Amino acid sequence: MVNPTPTPSASPTGGSQLKTIATVRSTPFCSSIAQHFNAAVQPMLANDQSFDQVDTQLVDLSDVFKHGDYQIRYSNIRIKLMKYVGDIQKSLPFMQQQINELRKGEALTQDAHDAHDIHQVAEKLQLAYNKQMQLATDLTGVIHAMMDYQPQGDADSFQNQLQTAEMPQNMRDIKSYLRFDGQRDVISQSENAAADSAIDLVERRCAVNK
């Protein structure tokens, strides 16, 4: 038997938590779901926690030039962003590999409905992965811009590098510029949808009392 237990993860806007998958039978199809779903979800949830930390840094970055010691604050924010985003980037190849392996579970069943369901689970995880990768790429661009700019006399220079003068006033902060919260909402929704679909599949086809 396999007992896959993904760690619960709250959405950035206070949404639902991922549920735990029940114990499943040790068939190739069921074991593949448990192994590769968990292996993909665990680093994905760890990345969500890193994005929580990134969120704090982005808020601080939008406010940094209002402080007299902004040069020190700016440097500290950049160092922290490099760490959090670097950790996320390192996790992505393994996560993609596990989603690919999960998708291969289609070949482990003769039931077309089951094959379709496992494909849908993989696609929902893929969407969450794609958004995490996109956010990490966008944040890498922010980090590069921060490295190119050394804050001295003109405290508005960095802001001007990241946004145009035509941008609406309510968009003139870095989180809005990156659509950070919206992308995180998509990640959370996709993770929860993948977990719900996986739970439904293993309860129908892989429950130990079947």
- Which are the contacts of 18, defined by CB distance < 8 A and separation ≥ 6? 6, 7, 8, 9, 41, 45, 191, 192, 195
Q: Among 21-25, 35-39, 96-100, 112-116, which is the least confidently predicted range? A: 21-25
Chain CA centroid to CA 3, Å: 24
pLDDT in tens, 75-131: 899 999 999 999 999 999 999 999 999 999 999 999 999 999 999 999 999 999 999
**Spatial distance between the Cα atoms of 197 and 190, rounded to a whole number of angstroms:** 10
User: Which of 55, 110, 104 shows the shortest CA–CA distance to 77?
Assistant: 55
**Spatial distance between the Cα atoms of 90 and 175, rounded to a whole number of angstroms:** 23
**Spatial distance between the Cα atoms of 187 and 48, rounded to a whole number of angstroms:** 9
| pLDDT at site 209 | 61
Mean pLDDT across 179-191: 96
Answer yes or no: is pLDDT of 147 > 90. Answer: no
| pLDDT at site 8 | 41
Categorize the per-residue pLDDT at 19 as very low, low, confident or very high, splitting at 50, 70 and 90.
Answer: low
- Cβ atoms of residues 194 and 18 within 8 Å: no
CA distances from residue 112 to 28, 109, 122 in whole angstroms, order as listed? 16, 8, 15
Categorize the per-residue pLDDT at 3 as very low, low, confident or very high, splitting at 50, 70 and 90.
Answer: very low
| pLDDT at site 151 | 58
Answer yes or no: is pLDDT of 164 > 80. Answer: no
Percent of the chain at pLDDT above 90?
A: 55
